[in-house]
Structure 1
Amino acid sequence: MSDAGAALFARYAFPPNELGYCGPDGVAPAELGRRARDFEGAWAYLCFIASSAGIADPLDERVVAAYWLGGTLLDRVDGDALAAVLRSRFAGQYRGSRAMAHHSFHVFEVYPWLSLLRRTGSSHAVSVLDRCRIRTGTVFSVRGSRAVVHSPALAWRDGTLAVGDFRSEQVRWERSLLPELTVGDRVTLHWDWVCDVVTQADDARLRDQLRGWL
């Protein structure tokens, strides 16, 4: 198992695990990489990406980065074959004919929240979709284990989900996951946690992919 890949996985998987939404309960950040198989959704995609790319380790850093952030490794994934795997693994949740091996695809296409939103206009559904996706922002201030980040939020307007206005949100970060955080850093967010410091290219890729799902 790649230590770098396991560490990267932990940065993104810790927030929902800490909140009890997925993964094994009560697992510390340092243990998450070793318990990755217990993250039912993520592990299926990691295995498929690794197999498609001819990489033996599903926790290879390149595989983990592709799942959370996207990138050229996903070009090797057969979307039809992945859709067949998802229809079997998530029976009743996913009925599509083509899939992408990306966390935000799972959020918008497999989880029921987007269909619920379209049926009901639920503000709670908007919040879950916004916070569960991997989103980007810029660090405005850092104080202890808290930071203020400026990030564009999702908005439900006239029956359409779209990227709305920028907001300032207070989020958490943990040194055991991310050793350093500085004002001006471009970061990824998952729920109310900072996951990683990323490049402008990562930011642009995530925003482009989001437009494809909305």
Structure 2
Amino acid sequence: MSAKLPIAVVDPGSGNLASVLRALERAADTAGLPIAAEVTRTAEAVRRADRIILPGQGAFAACMRGLAALPGMVEALNERVAAGTPLLGICVGMQVLVQRGLEHGVTPGLGWIAGDMAPMVPKDAAGAPLPLPQMGWNTLDFPAGRHPLLAGIAPGEHAYFVHSYALAGGREEEILATTDYGGPVPAMIGRGNIAGTQFHAEKSATVGLRLLGNFLRWMP
């Protein structure tokens, strides 16, 4: 039997971990990949992992405070990313990959992706405000073949979003997919061995499972 791939699911204290773990295990079963996924709050587990998932929900600042409160965690994440370990951020876990969050003041992020997480100000075609958060299913827009994590997902397929903040000032080459909510909104970002989904991959049914399976096979 092949060795199980060690996956660290980092717990920054923002919840939603059980559903991430379940979706990851289902994706691994579907892909026929043996994994040993663990939810962790220790830097040592991150350093042992072959792949890292950083989930999150709630506020940018709270997620960063949660990471900073775990001894050595931010340093371990920086070390592993610099070493080329694949990392996937989900929802607020994606948001903290960027330089700054602008929710209730300015909070530095992990700084791996350019731009700020800024309040959304979506409007419909008549100029009326759209409700926030953007909540529910929306399409993913990207050129076919845009990124290995999108393999087997067709442009226009739907994913599940819940958010009121979105990437602003990002680099075009680091925006892997968008959705439309009063205009284009970054839905997936990444560079090198780092990627993040603004949508909840673990709640996005077949699309989310396929993306997680792709992440388990990804060799950036």
Q: TM-score, normalized by length of structure 1?
A: 0.28
Q: Which has the higher strand share?
A: 2
Q: Which has the higher contact order (CA 8 A, sep 6+)?
A: 2
Which structure: greater helix fraction?
Answer: 1
Instruction: Give TM-score scaled by structure 2 length.
Output: 0.28
